[in-house]
Structure 1
Amino acid sequence: MSTSATGDLDAWRELPAQQQPDWDDPDELRAVAAELAAQPPLVFAGECDQLKAQLADVARGEAFVLQGGDCAETFTGANADAVKNKLKTLLQMAVVLTYAATVPVVKIGRMAGQYAKPRSKPVEARGGLELPAYRGDAVNGLDFDAESRRNDPHRLLKAYHCSAVTLNLCRAFTKGGYADLRQVHAWNQDFVAHSKSGRRYERLAGEIDRALTFMKACGVSPDEFHGVEFYSSHEALLLEYERALTRIDSLSGLPYDVSAHFLWIGERTRQLDGAHVEFLRHIRNPIGVKLGPGTSADDALALMKRLNPEEEPGRLTFITRMGAGKIREALPPLIEKVHQSGAPVAWVCDPMHGNTFEAPSGHKTRRLDDVLDEVAGFFEVHRALGTHPGGIHIEFTGDDVTECVGGAEGLAEGDLHQRYETACDPRLNRGQSLDLAFLVAELYRKSS
C-alpha cells in the first residue's frame, strides 16, 4: 500500500461531516482515538471478503440477506442473555426463510457496534432545560441530566469493548453448537405455548426434523448443520471511531475497517461530497447505503460510481427505506436505472424507518401492517421489473417488548406502555419478527 493511498483514508477530514458529536475536549478525543488505534481488530479482512462473496451471490439473485438487531445497542445489553435472545430470533427467522423459501440466507446482525445514532435535532428540551440529544451509548447517556448527556470520548472505548464482548458471544453461540440446525425446537421452547407465531414455527420445525432424519438415513453427515456463518454490522456514523479501527491488511495491503464486517452510510449522511462517502469509498469492506423516498435515480447512479467504480460484485448494497405509502412509486425508477447500468448491486428493504409515527400516548411506534406492506411493495416492484429482491433490514429484539403495534397477538397502541424499552426507535418483538419472516418466505416463493 503506497503512502499516498493510505493517506486517502484521512481525506474525509477536509469535507463536511454530518451528525458528528460536538466533543467537549479535542485533545481527549485524540487520545482516545490513539488508544483505539492500538487495539486488536474486532473482525478480519478475510471474513469481510467472505461476506462480500456471499453478497455477490445476493446481487446475482442466488441468496437472500437477513439483517437485523437493535435500533441502538446499549452497554448494559452486552451480556449473554440479551445477545442470545437476539441471536435466537435471527436464527429462527433465518430458518423460516431458508426452509420455507428454499433460499440460502446471509445472516448479518445489527450487533456488536450499533452504539451511535443520527438525530434530527442536536439538542433536546424538557421542562425548560436544554441538553445535547442522546446520540447512542458511544457518545452520551440516555438519562436526562447534564453529566449523562455530556459527549464523552471515553465512551468510544467502552463501545469497542462491548462490541468485542458481543462478537465473542455471537461466535461462541454460532460455532459452539447453539446454532446447530438440530436445535430448531430448543430455540422455541420458551415461546411455543403462548404464541401463535411460536406454534406456527414449531410446525415448521417438525418438518425440518423429518427432513434431517431423512438426510441422515441417506448418509448425510449431521456435522454439516453444526454452526452458521454470522456477520456483524453497524452504521458507520462516528468517523473518528471508524478511522481509528481501520487497518492495512498484511496480506493484500488494502485498508479494512475492522470494527465490523459490513458498514452502511445512513440516509442523513450519504452526501456525495460529504465525509462519510469519502471515508467509506476507501475501505474494502462490503458497504451499504440507505436510500429514502427523496432519492433520485441519478443519486443512486452517482453513489454507485463513487463507492464502487470498479463494479466489484458484493461490494455495494442499496438499503431502501421508503415508507409503505411511497415504495411502489419511488423504488422502480431507481432499480430500472441501476439495472440498466449493469453494475452489480444487492437490493435490501428496510421497512422500519419510513413507517414511524407518534401514538397518542407520546410513544414513537410502528404498525406491523405498514412494515409488512412496505416489504410486499418491495417484492411487487422487483417482480414487475424482473429483478431480485435481495433481503430485509429490520430493527428487532429477542425480548417480549411492546414497541410496535399489530401482529398475531394483536398488540394495540394502548399496550405500548407495558414494556416500551428501546433506547431510541421502536423494535419488533420476537413474535412480530416471526410474523414478518413467514410473510417474506411466502413473498419470496411467489417471486421466484
Structure 2
Amino acid sequence: MTDLDAWRDLPADQQPEWEDPAELAAVIAQLAKQPPLVFAGECDQLKDRLAAVARGEAFVLQGGDCAETFDGSSADAVRNKLKTLLQMAVVLTYAGSVPVVKIGRMAGQFAKPRSKATEIRDGVEHPAYRGDAVNGFEFTAEARRYDPRRLLQAYYCSAMTLNLSRAFTKGGYADLRQVHAWNQDFVSSSPAGQRYDRLAGEIDRALAFMKACGADPEEFHGVEFYSSHEALLLEYERALTRIDARTGLPYDVSAHLLWIGERTRGLDDAHVEFMRHIRNPIAVKLGPTTSSDDVLALIERLNPDQEPGRLTFITRMGAGRIRDALPSLVEKVTQSGAPVAWICDPMHGNTFEAPSGHKTRRFDDVLDEVAGFFEVHRALGTHPGGIHIEFTGDDVTECVGGGHEIVETDLHQRYETACDPRLNRGQSLDLAFIVAEMYRKTH
C-alpha cells in the first residue's frame, strides 16, 4: 500500500455506504483513466498566490454554490456565478489596492456532509441527500440510493464547468471595463446605490485615466481563476490523484484547492491522512470549538515543512462567537511562525430555521462575522486574508436582509438551493462593497 492509500486503514466519516462494491470499483477504475481536470503547474501557481496572501500582500475571494447540481451545470448558471464573482473582485481589488485571488467554489462541489444519515418525512425514512455525486434530491427510494455511477457524472459536469470558466475568464468576458460597467448598472439600481456610488465613481475615473495614458495591460482583459471544493468523497479524490511528470509528486487533479471540512478534520482520521500526501494547496475549516492545540497539530501534520501557500485556515465561527474564539488561534499560529492564510467563512456558523421551515441566514449576521474577523486581525496586527461565501448569480430568496431587504415571508418565492441558503447576486455585491470599506480601514 502506498502513502496515498494509507487513509484506507483509518476512520473515514461522511462516506456513503455504497451497496455494490464491485460497481464502485468499476467506476473508480474508469475515473482513474480520465484526463486531469486541472494541472499541477496551475496548483503550484495558486500556491504562490496564497503565499502572497499569507504575507499580507493579497486577498482571497472564494465563493460559489453550497452544493452544485448536475442540472445547474449549464452555461447560463456558470456565467452568472462567474459574473458575480468578477464584479465582487473588481470592487475589492480597487478599494483595497490589493490583488484578489479568485477561487470558485465550483467544478466539483457535488458532495455534502450531513448531520444525520437518514431523513424521515411523514413516517417514511430514506438515506439523506449527500449531494448529486452520491444520490438524488427527490425523496424516493430510487433517487436516494447511493449510486457510484454519479461519481462519473460529477467528473463530467466538473469538466464542463471548468471549460466554460476558462472560456469566460480568458475570452474577453472578464474584461475589466465590461465588469465595471456591470457594477455601475448594479449601483444605479441598488437601494444602497448611493452608498456605493462614490467607490464606483473612483473606479470609473481610474479606468479613464489608464485609458488616457494609453495603458492597456493584459490583466485588463482576462483573469486568473481557480477551482476548489471540499475533498469529502475519498474514493473520488484518490481516483483523480496523479503523479506529476515534472516533479514525481502526487497532485489531486480534481481541483486546484481542496479543503477538509469541520466534521472531518480529526487529526488521526482518513481525510487528514489523504490530504497530507497530495501537493495541492489545501485548506481546513475551523469551527468555534477549535483549540489552539488543534490548529498547531494540523499545521504539523499538513505542512510540517512550513511551505508558503500550502495551508489555509477557513474560520466558520458564527457572528456571536468569532471575536472570542478566533484571537487565541491567530496568536498561537503567529507565534509559531507558520505561513498560514486566514479566510473567513461567514455563512456556516449563522444558519437558522425560519418559521416556514426554510433554512436561512441573516445578511446582517454574515456582515457581523466578517466585521469580527477584521477586528480580530486588526487588533493582533495580522492579515485578514479573504472571505469564503456561498452565493449564486441568480435572484434567489434564500438569505434574509440585504439592500433589497428580503424578509422571512419571501423565502418561498425562489428558494432553489439543494442544501444550504446562498446569497443572491444583489446580496453578494452588497457584501463586496461593505467588505471593501472594512479592508480600507485596516490598511
Q: Where in structure 2 are the equivalents of 1:21-170 lying within 5 Å? A: 21-170=16-165
- TM-score normalized by the length of structure 1: 0.96
Residue deviations 1:374-428, cap 9 Å, x none? 0000000001111100000000000000000011111111110110000000000
Distance change (3 Å), C-alpha of 1:109 and 1:200:
farther
| Deviations 1:214-246 (CA, angstroms, capped at 9, x unpaired) | 123223225441100000000000000000000
Count of aligned pairs: 443
**C-alpha distance in 2, partners of 1:440/1:287?**
24
**Contact 2:31/2:239, CA 8 A, preserved across alignment:** yes
The separation in 1 between residues aligned to 2:219 and 2:156, in whole angstroms, is 32
What's the secondary structure of 2:368's corresponding residue? helix
Among residues 2, 6, 19, which one is paired with 1:11 in the alignment? 6
Asked if 1:418 corresponds to 2:413, the answer is yes
Distance 2:86 2:394 in 1: 14
3-state secondary structure, aligned to 1:184: helix
Separation of aligned partners in 1, 2:137 and 2:64: 19
**After superposition, where does 1:43-442 map in structure 2 within 5 Å?**
43-188=38-183, 191=186, 194-196=189-191, 204-442=199-437
Whole-Å separation in 2 of the counterparts to 1:137 and 1:281: 27
Query: Could you tell me how far apart the structure 1 residues matched to 2:303 and 2:58 are?
Result: 21
Return the letter of the residue paired with 1:136.
Answer: G
8 Å CA contact 1:23–1:151 kept in 2: the answer is yes
**Structure 2 segments unaligned to the other structure (5+ residues):** none
Q: Which amino acid aligns with 1:21?
A: P
C-alpha displacement of 1:340? 0.2
- Residues of 1 paired with 2:193 and 2:130: CA distance? 35
Name the CA distance, whole Å, in 2 between partners of 1:336 and 1:363.
Answer: 38
Structure 1 residues 189 and 27: CA distance shift in structure 2, 3 A:
farther
The one-letter amino acid paired with 1:411 is: I
- Counterpart CA distance in 2 for 1:424 and 1:447 is 34
Supply the distance in 1 between the matched residues of 2:44 and 2:175 (Cα, whole angstroms). Answer: 24
Distance 1:199 1:134 in 2: 43
Q: Distance in 2 between matches of 1:446 and 1:335?
A: 20
Secondary structure of the corresponding residue to residue 349 of structure 2: coil
**Stretch deviating more after TM superposition (435-444 or 208-217):** 208-217
25-34 or 192-201: bigger deviation: 192-201
C-alpha contact 1:319 1:348 (8 A) present in aligned 2? yes
Shift >6 Å, 4+ stretches:
none
* Distance (Å, rounded) in 2 between the aligned partners of 1:338 and 1:17: 27
CA contact (8 A) 1:216 1:222 kept: no
Contact 2:312 2:341 in 1 (8 A): yes
Identity %: 82
Return the offset for 1:442: 1.0
Preserved contact between residue 188 and residue 198 of structure 1 (Cα < 8 Å): no
Q: Please list every run of 5 or more consecutive structure 1 residues that lacks an aligned counterpart in the other structure.
A: none
Q: Report if aligned partners of 2:133, 2:150 keep a CA contact under 8 Å in 1.
A: yes
1:110 and 1:172 map into 2 onto residues whose CA distance is: 17
Counterpart of 1:75 in 2: which secondary structure? coil
The question of whether the paired residues in 2 share the 8 Å contact of 1:293 and 1:323 is answered with: yes
| TM-score (norm. length: structure 2) | 0.98
Distance 1:187 1:439 in 2: 18
Q: What SS does the corresponding residue of 1:237 show, helix, strand or coil? A: coil
Q: Is the 8 A contact 2:90 2:180 kept in 1?
A: no
3-state DSSP of counterpart to 2:308: coil
* Residue deviations 1:160-185 (CA, integer Å, cap 9, x gap): 00000000000000000000101024
| SS of equivalent residue, structure 1 residue 76 | coil
